[in-house]
């Protein structure tokens, strides 16, 4: 797939994800857990392309900040960090199975949700830290992991399998 086609697919996917976040996410919330389609899309694109998508992470993070009640820029910052670390972890630990990308996604989603809950406690909501972690971060992380996994499989179909780095050796 050429660079122009990848860029067009990414832009179309970003628009679809923002529309889903606005129109669908509030209606499929389970208790305090509202799905974050934007986070799932950014992480899936970074893994499927094996390249960090910094501009995509920042722009969609700012859109997420404008749509949510959290501090503006917090999700953009967390998605930028996640885009960097997810891509590096994928390049380092990729072994052509589905287990490693899903493990990387799970860890990234959990850390993003925990950091976001702590930022919300520190800046905007008046709740104990334990409540924010147990009643907001953990259910949202589980919900967002499922969305990330589904989005990653779709992104693999759109972008194709990522190329292996020639300098990495693989043990079999």
- Closest among 116, 58, 46, 49 to 84, alpha carbons compared: 46
Residue 171's contacts (CB-CB under 8 Å, 6 or more residues apart) are none
pLDDT for 49: 85
| Count of beta carbons in the 10 Å neighbourhood of residue 120 | 19
Question: What is the pLDDT confidence band of residue 161, given thresholds at 50, 70 and 90?
Answer: low
Output the six-digit token pair for 102: 């899903």
Domains of the chain: 3-159 (1.10.1760)
Q: Which two tokens stand for residue 134?
A: 């147990």
Task: Give the Cα separation of 118 and 77 in Å (integer).
Answer: 14
Question: What's the rounded Cα separation, in Å, for the pair 118 and 130?
Answer: 10
**How far, CA to CA in Å, does 143 sit from each of 56, 84, 94, 135?**
22, 22, 24, 13
For a pLDDT cut of 90, what percent of the chain falls above it? 63
pLDDT at 131: 86
Least confident of 9-13, 24-28, 117-121, 166-170: 166-170
Confidence of residue 171 (pLDDT cuts 50, 70, 90): very low
Mean pLDDT of the region 79-103: 92
Q: Whole-angstrom Cα distance, residue 106 to residue 118? A: 18
Give me the residues paired with residue 33 across strands: 30
> For residue range 29-69, what is the model confidence (pLDDT) as tens digits?
988 889 999 999 999 999 988 888 999 999 999 999 999 88
- C-alpha–C-alpha distance, residues 168 and 84, integer Å: 18
Structure tokens at 143: 């919900």
Is the pLDDT at 88 greater than 90, yes or no? yes
């Amino acid at each position: 797939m050429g660079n122009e086609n990848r860029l067009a697919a990414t832009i179309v996917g970003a628009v679809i994800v923002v529309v889903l976040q606005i129109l669908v996410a509030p209606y499929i919330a389970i208790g305090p857990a509202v799905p974050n389609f934007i986070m799932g899309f950014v992480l899936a694109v970074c893994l499927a392309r094996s390249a960090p998508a910094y501009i995509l992470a920042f722009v969609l993070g700012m859109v997420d900040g404008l749509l949510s009640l959290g501090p503006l820029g917090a999700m953009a910052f967390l998605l930028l960090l996640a885009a960097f670390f997810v891509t590096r972890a994928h390049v380092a630990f990729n072994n052509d199975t589905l287990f490693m990308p899903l493990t990387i996604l799970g860890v990234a989603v959990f850390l993003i949700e925990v950091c976001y809950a702590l930022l919300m406690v520190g800046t905007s909501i008046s709740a104990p830290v334990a409540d924010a972690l147990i009643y907001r971060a953990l259910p949202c992380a589980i919900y967002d992991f499922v969305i990330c996994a589904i989005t990653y499989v779709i992104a693999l179909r759109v972008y194709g399998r990522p190329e292996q780095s020639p300098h990495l050796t693989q043990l079999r």
